[in-house]
Structure 1
Amino acid sequence: MSKEEESCSKCLHACRRRIEIRNFSNFASDMFSDIEIQRRVEKRTEASTSEVFSHDKRRRTETLDTPLLATPTALSPESLSSFSTASSDGETQFLATASSSSLVLPAVTPILFGSVSLSGRAREMEDAISVQPEFFRTQDGSTRLHFFAVFDGHGGSHVSALCKEKMHTVLAEELAALAAEEMDEHVWRSAVKRCFVRMDHLALSACACGRVGQPLCRCERSGIESEIVGSTAVVSIISEGSLLVANCGDSRAVLSRGGKAVPLSSDHKPDRPDELARIEAAGGRVIFVNGARVHGILAMSRALGDKYLKPVVTSEPEFFIRERTPEDECLILASDGLWDVLSNELACSVARKCLAEGGPALSTEDISSTSSAAEEANVNDGQKPEARCSMAAALLARLALGRRSTDNISVIVIDLRKR
């Protein structure tokens, strides 16, 4: 074979090889392309499945994480020393969740309330407010109780602050201890009376520095500074069918029923005939110094704390129990900073107008210190019921300030209307 033929043969062989390589390359490219496409499809399908699973998981997690018992708020109470509004919306949410999971629970009407607490023209803030919707319920859920209280401190604020922090907890413990019995008037009285006894012991063992239950506290504020501190307490326990008021001191509870003011407490003043007799029987005296005072010092005959005046000044509360009726409109609990300058009738009239549909808006520019205050307020038809409760409390406090109240002013307005 000549060199030319050999060269031509090599050229043809190389050409065929290039063609084979090119064909194989195209085949491989197509093969890998198909594999890549298949891989992408599988990946997309997998991602879609993962997304569906993830979404379903989130949905199930949200359902599982939904609390069965939501804590109420007004109501968080935001700081109750300023302003709060609430309804037991937590229970409404609970019932909605329960119905979706086929649980059967007794229907509960949310309780609406508003509160305000002001230092007013006093130098120190010694008042305290406690609002605890559904603080206690029986095991079967048939009885649910709401706790409302106003504490008016004197000589300092640590006893009223202690009552705000502890009293509803102590009362719940006492009610739980009697839970085997039917929740009737006798049980309520017994539990509340024992609660006041325990709270008085705590108040007597509390030091002005904040320590509780340490009678031998040796801080610089122990001794007389802690012994002259006390607090009133007006407490209301409300259920679906009844309300109880326990009062110790000169704070007051007034019920608005059928357009009339119904007092649910009686101020414990030293010159009240029965209180005067009790004080003298205990070896005490009532001396008139800027009004009737126990030993010329304390302007009330009952209070929590006040160690230096025991046993003349007692912590035993007086009870008033009423069945709720369709005529009930609202309940007002307030310290004497309000009641010293406002009559029961005027306070109830203002609260009723605030709670009514189209009641007065929260505008105090045109409010005078006369009995026509509620009549002169502006009208706002679009306010929610819970907002009207807060509006009523704030309006009453503002009216007391306008009438030159010199004490702390604390007010709770509770809507008792059936909805």
Structure 2
Amino acid sequence: MEDYHVAKFVQYRGRDLGLFAIYDGHLGDSVPAYLQKHLFNNILKEEEFWTDPQRSISKAYERTDQAILSHSPDLGRGGSTAVTAILINGLQLWVANVGDSRAVLSRRGQAIQMSIDHEPNTERESIEDRGGFVSNMPGDVARVNGQLAVSRAFGDKNLKTHLRSDPDVTNANVDADNDFLILASDGLWKVMSNQEAVDIAKKIRDPQKAAKQLVIESLHRESKDDISCIVIRFKG
């Protein structure tokens, strides 16, 4: 396992914040461990977070990636995807991601994908513009320069000139129509659709038990990748 996660509530500047994240590492766990310690701190350090969360999250992602690259002798040549969610006062939800870990919102039982999977084939033009290439060799999965199966990631110094680390950021108001949010690494999404995950989770009131059941179901479906999952149930 090279996955790390965050799931906690904190008081910050008079607000209740829920901080949730899954970091799916590759070529070692140093980068996801670094993200677990530093990414949310970097986001909240942005002075304009309360007035322009989208810009602040994007700037913090980029600044964190630069810090990882500058510490590459200690952190190694690996990297990590990330999906993060910030819940402000239980009313506003901000989701960001790089890579293929995913956030899925249940709204009245219907699955709504809040993140964008950054796959080499879908961002081929960007990769090629940066001097890289996309190849299905070796194997049958599209990879940047035949190595990495995502087109955006933290770290990966050897590939960084051909990769992006800027996140896609989305937001939603949390109201009575929103049931819960699922964050999970690609080990779950490779064997389960968004709606299937929502259908499983909505039957289980306790969010921790719901997350555990989603992992168990992924294993039953013979997922071969790391599986990490968080379920955040809204009070409604």
The alignment partner of 2:161 has SS state of: coil
Q: Structure 1 residue 353 and structure 2 residue 203: aligned?
A: yes
Give distance in 1, aligned partners of 2:94 and 2:108. 19
Q: Is the 8 A contact 2:192 2:218 kept in 1?
A: yes
Q: Is the 8 A contact 1:159 1:206 kept in 2?
A: no
Q: Structure 1 residue 169 and structure 2 residue 17: aligned?
A: no
Q: Structure 1 residue 305 and structure 2 residue 141: aligned?
A: no
Q: Is the 8 A contact 2:58 2:169 kept in 1?
A: no
Give distance in 2, aligned partners of 1:207 and 1:305. 8
1:121-157 Cα deviation digits (max 9, x unpaired)? xxxx1010012312x533xx2x432210000000111
1:334-371 Cα deviation digits (max 9, x unpaired)? 0001111111111111111002xxxxxxxxxxxxxxxx
The structure 2 residue matched to 1:190, chosen from 33, 52, 55, is 55
Give distance in 1, aligned partners of 2:176 and 2:23. 29
Deviation at 1:202, TM superposition (A): 2.2
Q: Is the 8 A contact 2:201 2:211 kept in 1?
A: yes
Computed over aligned residues only, the root mean square deviation of the Cα atoms, in angstroms, reads: 1.5
Over alpha carbons, which structure has the higher Rg? 1
Give distance in 1, aligned partners of 2:53 and 2:7. 18
Which residue of structure 1 lines up, in the alignment, with residue 7 of structure 2? Answer: 131
The gaps in structure 1 that reach 5 residues or longer are 1-124, 213-225, 356-387
Q: Is the 8 A contact 2:72 2:157 kept in 1?
A: no
Which residue of structure 1 lines up, in the alignment, with residue 82 of structure 2? Answer: 233
Which residue of structure 2 lines up, in the alignment, with residue 204 of structure 1? Answer: 69
Matches within 5 A, 1:402-413: 402-413=220-231
Deviation at 1:207, TM superposition (A): 4.4
Q: Give TM-score, length-normalised by structure 1.
A: 0.54
Q: Is the 8 A contact 1:254 1:264 kept in 2?
A: yes
Q: Structure 1 residue 292 and structure 2 residue 119: aligned?
A: no
Aligned residues: 233
Question: Counting strand residues as a fraction of each chain, which structure ranks higher?
Answer: 2
Q: Is the 8 A contact 2:105 2:113 kept in 1?
A: yes
Structure 2: which amino acid aligns with 1:395?
Q
Question: Counting helix residues as a fraction of each chain, which structure ranks higher?
Answer: 1
1:21-56 Cα deviation digits (max 9, x unpaired)? xxxxxxxxxxxxxxxxxxxxxxxxxxxxxxxxxxxx
Task: Report the identity percentage.
Answer: 39
Q: Give TM-score, length-normalised by structure 2.
A: 0.94
Which residue of structure 1 lines up, in the alignment, with residue 215 of structure 2? Answer: 397
Q: Structure 1 residue 280 and structure 2 residue 128: aligned?
A: yes
Q: Structure 1 residue 245 and structure 2 residue 95: aligned?
A: yes
Give distance in 2, aligned partners of 1:132 and 1:315. 25
Give distance in 2, aligned partners of 1:334 and 1:151. 9
The gaps in structure 2 that reach 5 residues or longer are none
